[in-house]
């Protein structure tokens, strides 16, 4: 069996714990039943020339399998899904719909979600942040409503759980500091359904275990 290595941070501040994008990769691997090992980055190691040779932007995760090195979580998820029928349907049309929703999660939804997150977590006390926030929330809600409309009458985006739902759920989780998802009549239950999957809990536990183990001394 091939060896898979996932590189992520050894520790991050509490506001980011449970949200770092290696969670997506861990979850997909858990769903696929593919074992993996971790490579944990020390503080600042993401800026080293050696790491930048693997990940030009100094981000995580990096995925390695049989000499293949990948970055960008969406691309990694697609690679894993192609090895796992549980994540990607066999039907060609359904596979195309899954890919469409993956791109939608990354390009149509996540940027507006992250814009709101950046204001709330890093710029809430700035005057421009206070002025910008209502519009940022409006844009984010519009994208959330678009996802909800697509889910009307079904539990998942393409009829059954796929890698598209896995990815969309991790995008929705970025808004955990608000009630925008939890109080949404469609998206709240949708997110809960995705998070109720045992593979998600195993992935989350694996990520959080490192942050607990390597937490700085008080």
4-86+199-213 is classed CATH 3.60.20.10 = no
Q: Which of 76, 83, 24, 21 is nearest to 46 (CA)?
A: 21
Q: How far apart, in whole angstroms, are the C-alpha atoms of residue 204 and residue 46?
A: 22
The helix-helix angle for 198-213 and 22-32 (nearest 10°) equals 130
Q: Which of 97, 65, 94 is nearest to 79 (CA)?
A: 65
Per-residue pLDDT of the chain (218 residues; tens, 9 = 90+): 689 999 999 999 999 999 999 999 999 999 999 999 999 999 999 999 999 999 999 999 999 999 999 999 999 999 999 999 999 999 999 999 999 999 999 999 999 999 999 999 999 999 999 999 999 999 999 999 999 999 999 999 999 999 999 999 999 999 999 999 999 999 999 999 999 999 999 999 999 999 999 999 87
Numbered ranges of CATH 1.20.1050.10 in the chain = 92-197
In contact, 67 and 73? CB cutoff 8 Å: no
- Name the architecture of domain 92-197: Up-down Bundle (1.20)
pTM over 0.85: yes
Numbered ranges of CATH 3.40.30.10 in the chain = 4-86+199-213
């Amino acid at each position: 069996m091939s060896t898979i290595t996932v590189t992520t941070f050894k520790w991050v501040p509490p506001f980011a714990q449970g949200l770092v994008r290696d969670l997506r990769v861990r979850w997909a691997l858990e769903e696929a039943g593919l074992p993996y090992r971790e490579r944990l980055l020390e503080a600042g190691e993401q800026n080293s020339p050696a790491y930048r040779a693997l990940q030009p932007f100094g981000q995580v995760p990096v995925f390695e399998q049989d000499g293949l090195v990948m970055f960008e979580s969406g691309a990694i998820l697609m690679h894993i899904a192609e090895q796992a029928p549980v994540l990607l349907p066999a039907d060609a049309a359904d596979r195309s719909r899954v890919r469409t929703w993956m791109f939608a999660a990354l390009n149509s939804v996540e940027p507006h979600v992250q814009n709101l997150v950046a204001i709330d977590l890093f710029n809430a006390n700035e005057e421009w942040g206070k002025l910008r926030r209502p519009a940022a929330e409006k844009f984010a809600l519009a994208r959330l409503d678009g996802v909800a409309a697509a889910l009307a009458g079904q539990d998942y985006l393409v009829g059954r759980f796929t890698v598209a739902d896995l990815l969309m759920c991790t995008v929705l989780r970025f808004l955990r500091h608000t009630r925008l998802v939890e109080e949404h009549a469609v998206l709240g239950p949708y997110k809960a359904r995705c998070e109720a999957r045992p593979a998600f809990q195993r992935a989350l536990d694996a990520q959080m275990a490192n942050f607990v183990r390597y937490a700085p001394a008080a």
